[in-house]
Amino acid sequence: MTDYQHYHWEITAQHKLLDLKLQDTWAYRDLLWLLVRRDFVATYKQTILGPLWYLIQPVFTTVIYTLVFGGIAGISTEGLPGPLFYMAGITMWNYFADCLNKTSTVFRDNAGIFGKVYFPRLIMPLSIIISNLVRFVIQLLLFLAFMVFYDFSGANIQPNVYMLLFPLLVLMMAGLGLGCGMIISSLTTKYRDLAFLVTFGMQLLMYGTTVIYPLSAAPEKYKWIVVANPMTGIIETFRYGFLGRGNFSWELLGYSALFATIVFAAGIIVFNRVEKKFIDTV
């Protein structure tokens, strides 16, 4: 028997299903901030208005929703000014949708980088979540400006103590977007068709939540579908806390929190399993 047939060490990858690799991620924090800066700069590079699109997009969307759903369809806004009602839903929905859409293609979009150098793969979707947070904060400030304007105009706006739940709502949206996005991204390494369904699916999902109508206006026959959407509890809590309108309940918010936790954990498990061999299938 030759010498090379005697093995004293066996090198294997050590991966735990729920391993977030937080220590490695912290060690590569400089890379994380570089990726955040890259995403922020590249989004509106070579555009005339640049970051102003962060404000223009939600304003145009709010105007269209106000004209179509508030004016033509006559859907109730629970006594709130139409633009303020729709802006609240759009602000929250946009952050979740952007996190999911951009995270869902992270493997495909970064296959070249992943195949050349090592770094904690979780940094890439995390950079998307953080860079989208910048856009979310800008749109939130726009929403607050709408609030101040309508408050001075005499609108019946009643902010309350439930505003303190806002940081929790942001974490829940980030967890939902990150978890769903990582699951879809992991599946699209083999099934490319899923990438074409994401945008269409997000549009349908938006109509299944309370972005353009209050929960009280949902048809009783289909109300369970709207309640089953985890974003419904988040949007309703946001409206109730900041505007004093909505169908807030701890059961609805608890369901959204539980759903977000399960989806986030499932996303980490699937992501950690796929990252070890996805480069062979992309």
Whether residue 275 lies inside any domain: the answer is yes
- Contacts of residue 229, defined as CB under 8 A and 6 or more positions apart, other chains included, come to 205, 208, 209
Euclidean distance between CA atoms 52 and 40, whole angstroms: 13
pLDDT band at 135 (very low <50, low <70, confident <90, very high): confident
Residue 173 counted as domain residue: yes
Length of the chain, in residues: 282
Q: In this structure, is residue 148 part of a structural domain? A: yes
**Residue/partner pairs of 223-226 with CB below 8 Å, 24 or more apart:** none
**Res 48 pLDDT > 80:** no
Residue 11 is assigned to a structural domain of this protein: no
155 HSE (CA, 13 A, CB side): 23
Each residue of 164-204: pLDDT tens digit?
A: 999 999 999 999 999 998 888 878 767 666 767 787 788 88
pLDDT (0 to 100) of residue 12:
52
Asked if residue 7 belongs to a domain, the reply is no
Long-range CB pairs of 83-87 (<8 Å, 24+ gap) are: 83/146, 83/150, 84/146, 84/147, 84/150, 84/155, 84/157, 84/243, 85/214, 85/239, 85/243, 85/245, 86/61, 86/62, 86/211, 86/212, 87/58, 87/62, 87/142, 87/143, 87/146
Evaluate whether residue 9 is within a structural domain. Answer: no
**pLDDT (tens digit per residue) in 76-96:** 888 889 899 999 999 999 999
Segments forming the whole domain that contains residue 249 = 16-280
Q: Which two tokens stand for residue 131?
A: 């860079």
Q: Is 6 contained in some domain?
A: no
In a domain, 151, yes or no: yes
Look up the pTM and report it: 0.85
Q: What domain count does the chain have?
A: 1
Task: Return the HEC string of 120-140.
Answer: CCCHHHHHHHHHHHHHHHHHH
Map residue 211 onto helix, strand or coil.
coil
**Is the pLDDT reported for residue 9 higher than 60?**
no
